[in-house]
């Protein structure tokens, strides 16, 4: 079957790496460090995928502006102290290798910082597979289309030949804003009902199902 997409762009947390729960825990620990009320899981999970500053402002809109730098520092402390223990979802390495073998260009568009993504790429061993990456501290945060637009320009891919894959509505809205296709995974941060509102090509429910979908349809 002829390839449908030249460029496949992955979100990182909750899509390739099983890290959504760790992000929630780090946000909640940072809130406790500042003496704030317990941050509900649902609110913390909703902001996963946004740049860290935007995420914390959405999750804690009543926090004094002067306190956000301290919140960022405590979040990074808690998350980076254990990020080396996080693992890829089962079968992700094999899936990425198979897509690369078929000749797809591969990229990452993530709400992580550059330092955080570089750490994750190094710990996971996937760094060599990706032709380009964009992080939230390098351009506008999702759902702004800048990450995808920059990746397509750098790699010479057309919007109609580009697929964005993610576990949040932010990913799917970014794909719409960049005029690319979007594919949802439901095993990360956002619930199926919210993902389906964004009308992705499909919503897959397990890492193995994602691999099969891509090999059959991409």
Q: What is the pLDDT of residues 139-198, one digit of tens each?
A: 999 999 999 999 999 999 999 999 999 999 999 999 999 999 999 999 999 999 999 999
> Mutual orientation of helices 207-217 and 92-101 as an angle, nearest 10°?
10
pLDDT band at residue 2 under the 50/70/90 scheme: low
Residue 1 in domain: no
Residue 37 in domain: yes
43/125 same-domain check: no
SS3 (DSSP) at 158: coil
98/66 same-domain check: no
Peptide bond between residue 114 and the one before it cis (omega within 30 degrees of 0): no
| Strand residue runs (E) in the chain | 7-10, 105-110, 132-135, 162-166, 181-185, 203-204
Residue 2 in domain: no
Question: Which among 84, 115, 139 is the end of a domain?
Answer: 84
Identify the domain containing residue 164 by its residue range. Answer: 7-18+86-217
Contact 10, 16 (CB under 8 A): yes
132/164 same-domain check: yes
Domain count, the chain: 2
Instruction: Give catalytic residues, as residue numbers.
Output: 11, 13
97/162 same-domain check: yes
């Amino acid at each position: 079957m002829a390839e449908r997409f030249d460029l496949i762009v992955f979100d990182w947390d909750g899509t390739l790496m099983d890290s959504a729960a760790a992000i929630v825990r780090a946000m909640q620990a940072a809130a406790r460090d500042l003496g704030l009320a317990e941050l509900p899981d649902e609110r913390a999970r909703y902001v996963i995928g946004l740049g860290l500053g935007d995420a914390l402002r959405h999750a804690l809109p009543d926090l004094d502006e002067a306190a956000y730098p301290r919140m960022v520092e405590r979040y990074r402390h808690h998350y980076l102290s254990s990020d080396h223990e996080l693992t890829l979802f089962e079968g992700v390495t094999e899936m990425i290798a198979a897509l690369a073998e078929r000749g797809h260009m591969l990229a990452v568009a993530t709400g992580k910082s550059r330092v955080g993504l570089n750490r994750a790429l190094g710990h996971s061993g996937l760094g060599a597979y990706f032709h380009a990456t964009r992080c939230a501290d390098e351009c506008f945060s999702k759902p702004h289309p800048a990450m995808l637009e920059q990746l397509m320009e750098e790699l010479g891919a057309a919007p109609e030949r580009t697929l964005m894959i993610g576990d949040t509505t932010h990913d799917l809205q970014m794909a719409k804003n960049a005029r690319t296709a979007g594919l949802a995974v439901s095993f990360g941060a956002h619930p199926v009902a919210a993902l389906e509102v964004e009308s992705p090509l499909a919503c897959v429910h397990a890492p193995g199902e994602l691999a099969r979908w891509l090999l059959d349809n991409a």
